[in-house]
């Protein structure tokens, strides 16, 4: 066992293979009872030593089908999250030692858009990253969906005026906790890097537009999830109105008295599924321009002031969309035209319709479905390019990467899919590492060991000194529009200038993003 002192009391964690782990450490008060739908409040202090050896609760959320359910159901480690509860504002801390070494700090924001996911998932275990890079890793749990991003503005009660962004304010509070406590866990509060994938990257994008987050982190890694624009308040208010109608209520007080399961079920219906609002033009419950927490779009039409001075590492996977549609029942047996219709009508919307034909020039042998998925993938890639361009135009520094590793699982049909970068970033790719990963089958090929060292090494170097280059990689220039240097992590990793430039040109006049 190992103990550390925080501003609210002592905590006791455990040591395994040389890494000290503290789970479920509160960074704010439980947002329950009178605090439901309110801004995060300071955590209550405790006496004695609080046990921090067991997994804490994740935020209540709708069930999300697993993409590749290959884990043994008899294996207790196959359960990603043990329980869900509104009392979920906690962090997990992984550190090489509880000392005064002032190591770089890496704060992870989990994926799952703004509605599902957890910092407790085993694939986010920070032990290997700590061991490889002598860094401190923190993973965050925060409010999701209606509990964290439901707009109740205009009700005349100041407690709820910023409710469309309370999940984001939770993350700000977690970063304040890091600032005030991480030195006690061997970390350096002056060298904090936030990193996240998919929805986690979208949250980081939004934090780069939040004035209250200034100075709480110094570098940011945006993995497969650039979000250039926040939700407009009108759209957020419409989602709230639809939720009230679905629940058959007319007041916030009625909402606050409902069982959490009823709220989550209604959210799932209103949004059209667990990840509803990620694409298309329907209701959304996500970070919103409310004039209080977010005053302007973080990266549209330019990089907003809170992002200035934050070094960025931005990238994507070569075939993002293959993973995103893997759960659609029966899609592999459909005709290509029917695949596209199903995906546009029910998942992605029709915003990319005019682009698909233009991909025929660059992919003449591809089916209409393959060209459509290429456009969906490029929506993320182009969003990252736009973010980098606008950051650089504001005097900032950015580096760009792409992951091209194609796992042999499923006959290589996935290409280099969405989420493949997570295992590499955390160095959680070794089947003997003792870390259960939902994507374990993606990391069984010959190149995995090398790519793990290259990618996790780049993330560690970036957290340490603001530049992702290291001895195991070719020299990595910063991103500039005149050259567009991009590190391609693949069979032979190296720098490529302006990869897929013809398809980038297809997007001229459009800025992509989630």
**Residue 434, pLDDT score:** 40
**Residue 355, pLDDT score:** 83
**Per-residue pLDDT for 212 more than 80?**
yes
* Full-model pTM: 0.94
pLDDT category of residue 327 using cuts at 50, 70 and 90: low
Helices (H) and strands (E) in the chain, counts: 14, 13
Average pLDDT over residues 376-394: 96
**Per-residue pLDDT for 47 more than 60?**
yes
**Residue 80, pLDDT score:** 61
**Residue 73, pLDDT score:** 40
User: Catalytic positions, please?
Assistant: 198, 320, 418
Phi and psi angles of residue 34, each rounded to the nearest 5 degrees, phi first: -70, -15
Q: What is the DSSP letter of 510?
A: -
Beta-bridge mates of residue 221: 195, 313
Rg (CA), the chain: 22
In 3-state terms, what secondary structure has residue 222?
strand
Average pLDDT over residues 94-120: 96
**Per-residue pLDDT for 357 more than 90?**
no
Could you give the CA distance from residue 213 to residue 206 in angstroms, rounded to a whole number? 10
Could you give the CA distance from residue 81 to residue 141 in angstroms, rounded to a whole number? 12
Residue 435 CB burial class (10 angstroms; 0-12, 13-18, ≥19): buried
Whether the CB-CB separation of 94 and 17 falls below 8 Å is answered with no
**Residue 335, pLDDT score:** 79
Whether the CB-CB separation of 462 and 219 falls below 8 Å is answered with yes
Closest by CA position to 243, among listed 308, 319, 150, 381:
150
Q: Which of 15-19, 65-69, 99-103, 349-353 has the lowest mean pLDDT?
A: 65-69
Could you give the CA distance from residue 232 to residue 207 in angstroms, rounded to a whole number? 16
**Residue 324, pLDDT score:** 63
In 3-state terms, what secondary structure has residue 193?
strand
Phi and psi angles of residue 197, each rounded to the nearest 5 degrees, phi first: -120, 145
Mean pLDDT, the chain, integer = 91
pLDDT in tens, 49-96: 999 999 999 999 998 655 444 333 444 334 467 789 999 999 999 999
pLDDT category of residue 347 using cuts at 50, 70 and 90: low
Both tokens assigned to 222: 């945006």
Could you give the CA distance from residue 88 to residue 270 in angstroms, rounded to a whole number? 24
Question: Which secondary-structure segment (H or E) carries 104?
Answer: strand 103-109
Strands 90-95 and 187-197: unpaired
pLDDT in tens, 476-486: 999 999 999 99
């Amino acid at each position: 066992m190992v103990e550390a002192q925080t501003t609210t009391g002592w905590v006791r964690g455990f040591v395994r293979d040389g890494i000290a782990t503290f789970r479920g450490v509160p960074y704010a008060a439980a947002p329950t009872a009178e605090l439901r739908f309110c801004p995060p409040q300071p955590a209550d202090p405790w006496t004695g030593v609080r046990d921090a050896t067991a997994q804490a609760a994740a935020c209540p959320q709708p069930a999300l089908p697993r993409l590749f359910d290959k884990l043994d159901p008899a294996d207790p480690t196959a359960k990603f999250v043990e329980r869900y509860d509104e009392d979920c504002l906690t962090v997990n801390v992984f550190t090489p030692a509880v000392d005064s070494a002032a190591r770089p700090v890496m704060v992870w924001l989990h994926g799952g858009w703004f509605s599902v996911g957890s910092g407790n998932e085993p694939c986010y275990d920070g032990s290997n990253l700590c061991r490889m890079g002598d860094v401190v890793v923190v993973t965050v749990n925060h409010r999701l969906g209606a509990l964290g991003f439901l707009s109740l503005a205009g009700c005349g009660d100041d407690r709820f005026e910023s409710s469309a962004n309370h999940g984001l304010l939770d993350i700000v509070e977690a970063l304040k906790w890091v600032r005030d406590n991480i030195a006690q866990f061997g970390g350096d509060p002056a060298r904090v890097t936030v990193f996240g994938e998919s929805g986690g990257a979208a949250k980081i994008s939004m934090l780069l537009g939040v004035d209250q987050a200034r100075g709480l982190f110094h570098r940011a890694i945006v993995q497969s999830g650039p979000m250039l624009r926040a939700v407009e308040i009108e759209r957020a208010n419409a989602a709230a109105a639809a939720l009230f109608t679905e629940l058959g209520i007319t007041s916030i007080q009625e909402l606050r008295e409902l069982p959490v399961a009823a709220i989550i079920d209604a959210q799932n219906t209103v949004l059209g599924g667990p990840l509803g609002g990620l694409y298309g033009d329907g209701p959304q419950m996500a970070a919103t321009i409310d004039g209080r927490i977010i005053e302007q779009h973080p990266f549209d039409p330019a990089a907003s002031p809170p992002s200035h001075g934050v070094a960025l590492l931005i990238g994507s996977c070569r075939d993002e969309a293959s993973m995103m549609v893997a759960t659609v029942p029966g899609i592999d047996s459909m005709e290509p035209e029917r695949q596209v219709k199903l995906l546009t009508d029910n998942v992605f919307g029709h915003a990319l319709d005019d682009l698909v034909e233009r991909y025929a020039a660059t992919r003449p042998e591809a089916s209409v479905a393959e060209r459509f998925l290429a456009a969906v993938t490029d929506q993320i890639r182009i969003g990252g390019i736009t973010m980098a361009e606008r950051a650089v135009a504001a005097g900032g520094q950015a580096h760009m990467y792409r992951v091209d590793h194609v796992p042999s699982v499923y006959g290589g049909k996935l290409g280099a899919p969405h989420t493949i970068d997570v295992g590499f970033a955390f160095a959680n790719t070794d089947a003997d590492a003792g870390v259960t990963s939902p994507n374990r089958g993606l990391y069984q090929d010959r190149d995995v060991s090398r790519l793990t060292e290259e990618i996790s090494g780049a993330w560690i170097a970036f957290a340490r000194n603001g530049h992702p280059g290291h001895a195991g990689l070719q020299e990595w220039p910063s991103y500039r529009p005149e050259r567009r240097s991009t590190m391609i992590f693949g069979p032979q990793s190296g720098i490529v200038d302006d990869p897929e430039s013809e398809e980038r040109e297809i997007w001229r006049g459009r800025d992509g993003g989630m």
